[in-house]
Structure formats: C-alpha cells, structure tokens
Structure 1
Amino acid sequence: MSNDINVRRIGSNEAASYVESLADVLIDCVEGGASVSFMLPLSREKALAFWRAVAQGVVCGERALLVAEDSGGHVVGTVQLVLAQPENQPHRADVAKMLVRRDARRRGIAQRLMKAAEDTARAEGKSVLVLDTVTGGDAERLYEKAGWQRVGVVPKCALMPHGTFCATTFYYKHV
C-alpha cells in the first residue's frame, strides 16, 4: 500500500473546489475503458457537469464524496456513497464511481478508498452497501477480496465506453 496517499471525505464547503480534479480522473478512467456511465468521447464539459452535480449532492447531504490525494495534493482516486435512499431503506447506501487514475493503479488506493467508504457508511448509520461493476473486470477481484457478496450478473446491462455491451455484476456488503 502507498503511504504517500491521503484518503479523506470532502466536506460540503470544499466539494465545488474539487470539480476540476475529479473531472480529470473521470476522463482518464473513461479513456482507459472504464464503464462508469459515460461514453467516448467524454467531453470535459460533460465531466465537469457531472462533478458539479455530485458537489451539489454533497452540499445537500445526499452523497458522501471521498478522494485519494498524492503527496502533492493531486487527486488520484475517488469513490462516492449515495446516502439519499427511499424511505424504506434508510439503512442502505450505494457505492458509486470508484475511480483510480490509470497511472496510480496497483498501489492499494482502491482498497483504501473502499475501506474509507465503509467507515463513512458506518458513521452515517448505514449498515448495507450495494454496488455494481463490469463483469470480469479488475474491480470484481477487489470487491470479493474485501468481503463483498456477489448477488448476480445481468448480461448486456450496460455499454463499454466504445459502445459494446457488457455484463454487470451486483454486490452487497453488511458493514
């Protein structure tokens, strides 16, 4: 694991100041083939608009935003918890947009982000986490190693950034 990485939750007063850096991470991941809701080419404006909406969700308390920063203060990874859930699921949160820049991978950053997300969920009173990921991708191994339970696979659930279908695997974890 990389000790030169600081993982922390972004406060509502600072979320907007991270939009540019988070857009860089998102664009890098999508250009690298990550199926995270966006298609190629991903314009900077579309990435910025997405992160502005996330920042607003942080301000409203609907989302928790975590970042991994290197020793120079550059954002190299991020993950979110969608805290706002239906009335009958106040104990649940969704893990979303677990992203690590391609040049920062294989350093334990994703593991640290997921641990921080689980700790944040507990602090928010959430006891069930749910996420989905591309079937057969590196993230599956990460989640299973961290104790996430595989629920099932939906074939042709989403598209890869270049337009081909991909299956999606769903997971949950009690924290």
Structure 2
Amino acid sequence: MESVIIRPFTDDDLAGAAAALVEVHDTDGYPVEGVNDPEAWIKSEDVLAAWVAEGGGRIVGHVAVMKPQGEAAVNLWVKQSDDDADHVGVLARLFVVQSARKQAAGRRLMEAAVSHARTHGLRLVLDVMVKDASAIRLYERLGWRKIGDTIHHFGSGETIPAVCYVSPTA
C-alpha cells in the first residue's frame, strides 16, 4: 500500500469511511454497533471534529472527537479530576482497515485528535472493549492511562466489558 495521509474528514469521505468501517467490522467485530447504518454512525451530530486516513486512493481509517453524552469514561474522569464535562471530549469512531495498520495510521489518527483537543482546551477520554486487545496496546503505547472499568451497552440489551482511558497530558 502507498503511504497513508491523515487529513480532516469531509462529507465527500462519508461513503469511503462507511466502506472501511464495514471492512473493519468484518475482520475485527468492531464496532459492535453502527454497521447497520455506517454513514449515520460516522456522521453523528455529536462529532466535534473528525479525520480520515487515506491510502491507495481510498479511505483506510477514521477517528472523531465527540461531545460527551454521559459516557462512563467521561463520568469517571470528571470524578477523578478537576475537569467538568465541558472540558472533556470523547475519542471515538477510531478504525483502520487491516492493510493500513502497519503504517501507523491508527497512531497518526489519534495524534490528530489529541492535538485538536489540546488546541480546544479539551481532555480526551475513551472506552474500549476488553476484547479489542490491539487497540488497548495502542492506547497504552501512546501514554493513555486507564481510569476504570465499565460495561458497554449496545443493541437490544447486549453488554460487553470495557476499559476507560484518559489521554496523556501535554
């Protein structure tokens, strides 16, 4: 694969990002929700900013910074810090197709999101399902700190264990 570039998401990227999401779901089972209508899941009204990874003429990855919506990670961080929810963003919708993973697309997408958050006075949090061990390794390698455990609820009453993280300080 050619080198991957990271750039801000535009509406023209929606179909390609949705196709990449479905591909990642097929290989990794991530996300557990959103694949029935991937375009709506990617282009949620709660997205503050988003980026894509592009390589070989197609979208191979995506990440978003989202407004808090009562997530466990937000609540844990607000309780553990002096931050209020207005100064917290949620890193979400991070996915990279398998063929682009050896090119640091995930790390570079996360760096774009963290840089944006710092510029806008936000501390980022996320939750990750325990089953997604490679994602957990990436977050920890990049200095994200575990702040607690939670249960991720999805579908019609389904649950899966998850871990909450906060981004490193500048």
Q: TM-score range by the shorter chain?
A: 0.7 to 0.9
- 1:34/1:3 Cα in 2 relative to 1: closer, same or farther (>3 Å)? same
* % same residue: 27
Flag structure 2 segments of 5+ consecutive residues without an equivalent: 71-83
The corresponding residue for 1:66 is: 51
Is 1:93 matched up with 2:78?
Answer: no
Q: Matched residues in 1 for 2:2 and 2:99: separation?
A: 16
- 1:125/1:165 Cα in 2 relative to 1: closer, same or farther (>3 Å)? closer
Cα deviation, 1:1-45, whole Å, max 9, x if unaligned, reads: x981111223xxxx3211101111111111123332417xx44xx
Tell me how far 1:165 sits from its aligned partner: 5.0
Contact kept, 8 Å, 2:51 with 2:64, in 1: the verdict is yes
User: Which amino acid letter does the alignment assign opposite residue 47 of structure 1?
Assistant: P
Q: Matched residues in 2 for 1:158 and 1:130: separation?
A: 17
Is 1:25 matched up with 2:10?
Answer: no
Q: Matched residues in 2 for 1:170 and 1:140: separation?
A: 10
The corresponding residue for 2:130 is: 135
The count of aligned residue pairs is: 154
SS of residue matched to 2:85: coil
Is 1:170 matched up with 2:164?
Answer: yes
Q: Matched residues in 2 for 1:84 and 1:170: separation?
A: 14
Cα deviation, 1:96-127, whole Å, max 9, x if unaligned, reads: 0110012222221111111111111112222x
Aligned-pair RMSD on alpha carbons?
2.8
Q: Which has the higher helix share?
A: 2
Contact kept, 8 Å, 1:64 with 1:81, in 2: the verdict is yes
Is 1:111 matched up with 2:96?
Answer: no
Q: TM-score, normalised by structure 2?
A: 0.77
Contact kept, 8 Å, 1:63 with 1:84, in 2: the verdict is no
Tell me how far 1:153 sits from its aligned partner: 2.1
Cα deviation, 1:139-167, whole Å, max 9, x if unaligned, reads: 1000001000101223x5346x9x98531
SS of residue matched to 2:136: helix
Contact kept, 8 Å, 1:64 with 1:83, in 2: the verdict is no
Give structure 1 regions of 4+ aligned residues with deviation exceeding 6 angstroms. Answer: none
SS of residue matched to 2:103: coil
Q: TM-score, normalised by structure 1?
A: 0.75
The corresponding residue for 2:80 is: none
Q: Matched residues in 1 for 2:125 and 2:13: separation?
A: 25
